[in-house]
Structure 1
Amino acid sequence: MSEFTKQEVSRHNHAWLIPFICLLVGGLLLGISTNIAKYAGNIGLTPLAFLFWSITGAAIILSVVALLRHEHPPLSARGFEYYFVAALVSVAGSNLIFFSAIPHVGAGFVAMMIALPPLLTYLGALALRIERFNTMRAFGVAAALAGAGVLAVRKFSAPDASIFWILIALCGPVLLAIGNIYRTLRWPDKASPSALAPGMLIAAAIWLGMVSVLSDFSLAVPHGEILPLALIALQACIFAGQFLLLFLLQKTGGPVLLSLLGSVGAIVGVPVAVFVQGESVPDGIILGASLIALGVGLVTWGGIKMTASLPKKSE
């Protein structure tokens, strides 16, 4: 076997590594993000204002990164459609739902809800033939969904449960699953992840600005205080990393592996909410978190097996 062929086989066998790292780091940032959103409410930032300025900051950061890498966002009609539809379902709509629900149901519960999209994404990917059926990955998605379901059912049965806000929070995963499928199907030709991410965030900021104008919700930030501005800057950096990894994971791992970002985010977000924010430990946390972790492992391992089964180049 030639040296070139050996290098090709090595790259082929390790093709799973980049999406797996993106999944872990992206999920970590997602879990932290939900907890920062709760703390923002505690210091006087409204969900809309916090989300708008954080998204705007992240858009600026990623735009600078794209310019430095000479990867300009596509400015075609297809590109603008992609930015605004993806921004509505994947960023503005879903995050506004989650950030608004956090004061009523807690950051831990919202982190768990973000773990729900895998089943919807997997079924959609199978129906649209984006994903080939794989028993191990299907079982993994079911396990992750079951884990999130255990936690959600226990939340509904709590004596102080806010049914309205629980139902509102459940709408967020539906938008995320739609976004996972849409971004895969409508990915502009030859566009890189670092070129598409800033375009989507700019469109999301425009959507959120329109919500402010049409609803009279204020985008004002408390004056004369450093902490709110520092928190917005921190969230902007987290969003920048999170959405850049999201697009990279979308490109390298596909929509189903991407949908498990929420499952990893739940594993991170719930403990942070309990030990740092002082929230009560969700009922069924051990069983739920174990099933979610099992699901992430099976879907990732199933993807490795699928990659390994692809035909390799001969000498």
Structure 2
Amino acid sequence: MSDSSKRQVFCSKHAWFVPFVCLLVGGALIGISTNLAKYAGDLGMTPLAFLFWSITGAALILWVVALIRQELPPLSARSFEYYFVAALISVAGSNLLLFSAIPHVGAGFVALIISLPPLLTYLGALMLRMERFTIMRAVGVAAALMGAGVLALRKFTAPDASVFWILIALCGPVLLAIGNIYRTLRWPDNASPSALAPGMLIAAALLLFAFSAVPNFSVAVPLGEWLPLSLIVIQAGVFAGQFLLLFLLQKTGGPVLLSLLGSVGAVFGVPVAIFLQGESPPSGLFLGASLIALGVALVTWGGVKMSTDNKLDFK
């Protein structure tokens, strides 16, 4: 076997490594981000203000990274459409809904339901014929949706339940799943992940700032206190890493693997909310989380098996 053939075999065997690392680290950052949002609320910051300044800081960080790598965001009509639509669905809209719901439903509940996008993404990809139907993945979707139903039902029937905020929280994973599919379908030609990420975040910051024109919504933060400002700086760094890894994972792993970020985020986010933030475990946690984990495992394993079968058919 020639040296070039050996390198090709080595690369094919280890092609999973980059997506796996992106998935693990990116999911951990999502779990951290959810809990930072709850802490920001405890400090008196509004969800809009915390999200706007954190996204703005992350956009600046990623812009500097793109500048250093000489991969600045492309400036074309197609790219601007991509930035603003992706920003509205994947960043501004979904995160504003989730961050606003956290003070009312808890960071643990939000961290758990963020694990739903893989299943919703698979359903969307199935309807758009981006994926083919398999029994294993269909059972996985059903199991996870049952798990989400258990958590939502227990949350709805709690004595202090806020139906409005539970529904708002459940809209977040739907937007995230739509964003996963949109970004895959509309990825600009020859654009790198490090070029697209700052463009999307800048668009998200502009959308959030425009939203602050609505009465009773403001992006003002207490400038005289160091703790809120420090938290914004930390969240900006978390967002920068999270969205850069999101684009890298999208490019190397595809939309369904990408949406598993939420599941990894739940693994990190729920224990932090319970043990460090003092939240009570969500009612129905064991049954609901078990069903969601089973569903995610079946959807993931079904995808791996389908990919393997495709490679064998190709050979």
Same fold (TM over 0.5): yes
Question: Are the structure 2 counterparts of residues 260 and 147 from structure 1 closer, same or farther at C-alpha, using a change threshold of 3 Å?
Answer: farther
Q: Which range moved further: 130-139 or 187-196?
A: 130-139
**Corresponding residue of 1:217:** 217
Question: Are the structure 2 counterparts of residues 135 and 17 from structure 1 closer, same or farther at C-alpha, using a change threshold of 3 Å?
Answer: farther
Deviation at 1:141, TM superposition (A): 4.0
2:101 is the alignment partner of 1:98 = no
Alignment of 1:78-89 (within 5 A): 78-89=78-89
Give the secondary structure class of the aligned counterpart of 2:212.
Answer: helix
Quote the RMSD (CA, aligned, Å): 2.1
**Corresponding residue of 1:160:** 160
Q: Are the aligned partners of 1:273 and 1:279 in contact in 2 as well (CA < 8 Å)?
A: yes
Q: Are the aligned partners of 2:28 and 2:264 in contact in 1 as well (CA < 8 Å)?
A: yes
Alignment of 1:67-146 (within 5 A): 67-146=67-146
Q: Which runs of 5+ in 1 are unaligned?
A: none
Deviation at 1:267, TM superposition (A): 2.1
Q: Distance in 1 between matches of 2:71 and 2:141?
A: 34
Q: Are the aligned partners of 1:47 and 1:99 in contact in 2 as well (CA < 8 Å)?
A: yes
Tell me the amino acid that sits aligned with residue 175 of structure 2: L
Deviation at 1:145, TM superposition (A): 3.5
Deviation at 1:111, TM superposition (A): 1.2
**Corresponding residue of 1:235:** 235
2:19 is the alignment partner of 1:19 = yes
Q: Are the aligned partners of 1:23 and 1:264 in contact in 2 as well (CA < 8 Å)?
A: yes
Deviation at 1:178, TM superposition (A): 1.1
Q: Which runs of 5+ in 2 are unaligned?
A: none
Alignment of 1:1-315 (within 5 A): 1-311=1-311
Deviation at 1:216, TM superposition (A): 4.7
Question: Are the structure 2 counterparts of residues 216 and 113 from structure 1 closer, same or farther at C-alpha, using a change threshold of 3 Å?
Answer: same
Q: Are the aligned partners of 2:119 and 2:296 in contact in 1 as well (CA < 8 Å)?
A: no
Q: Are the aligned partners of 1:115 and 1:148 in contact in 2 as well (CA < 8 Å)?
A: no
Q: Are the aligned partners of 1:34 and 1:110 in contact in 2 as well (CA < 8 Å)?
A: yes
Deviation at 1:95, TM superposition (A): 0.5
TM-score by length of 1: 0.93
Q: Are the aligned partners of 1:267 and 1:289 in contact in 2 as well (CA < 8 Å)?
A: no
Question: Are the structure 2 counterparts of residues 245 and 141 from structure 1 closer, same or farther at C-alpha, using a change threshold of 3 Å?
Answer: farther
Give the secondary structure class of the aligned counterpart of 2:177.
Answer: helix
Deviation at 1:135, TM superposition (A): 4.1
Deviation at 1:273, TM superposition (A): 0.9
Deviation at 1:118, TM superposition (A): 2.2
Give the secondary structure class of the aligned counterpart of 1:213.
Answer: coil
Question: Are the structure 2 counterparts of residues 309 and 3 from structure 1 closer, same or farther at C-alpha, using a change threshold of 3 Å?
Answer: farther
Question: Are the structure 2 counterparts of residues 55 and 23 from structure 1 closer, same or farther at C-alpha, using a change threshold of 3 Å?
Answer: same
Tell me the amino acid that sits aligned with residue 60 of structure 1: L
Question: Are the structure 2 counterparts of residues 76 and 231 from structure 1 closer, same or farther at C-alpha, using a change threshold of 3 Å?
Answer: same
Q: Are the aligned partners of 1:16 and 1:304 in contact in 2 as well (CA < 8 Å)?
A: no
Deviation at 1:138, TM superposition (A): 4.0
Q: Distance in 1 between matches of 2:285 and 2:236?
A: 30
Give the secondary structure class of the aligned counterpart of 1:222.
Answer: coil
Residues matched between the structures, number: 315
Q: Which range moved further: 76-85 or 171-180?
A: 171-180
Q: Distance in 2 between matches of 1:109 and 1:258?
A: 21
TM-score by length of 2: 0.93
Q: Distance in 2 between matches of 1:238 and 1:264?
A: 15
Give the secondary structure class of the aligned counterpart of 1:188.
Answer: coil
Deviation at 1:270, TM superposition (A): 1.4
Identity percentage over the alignment?
76
Q: Which range moved further: 184-193 or 285-294?
A: 285-294
Q: Which range moved further: 296-305 or 15-24?
A: 296-305
Tell me the amino acid that sits aligned with residue 214 of structure 2: L
1:153-198 alpha-carbon deviations (Å, 9 max, x no partner): 2212211111111111111112111111110110000001111000
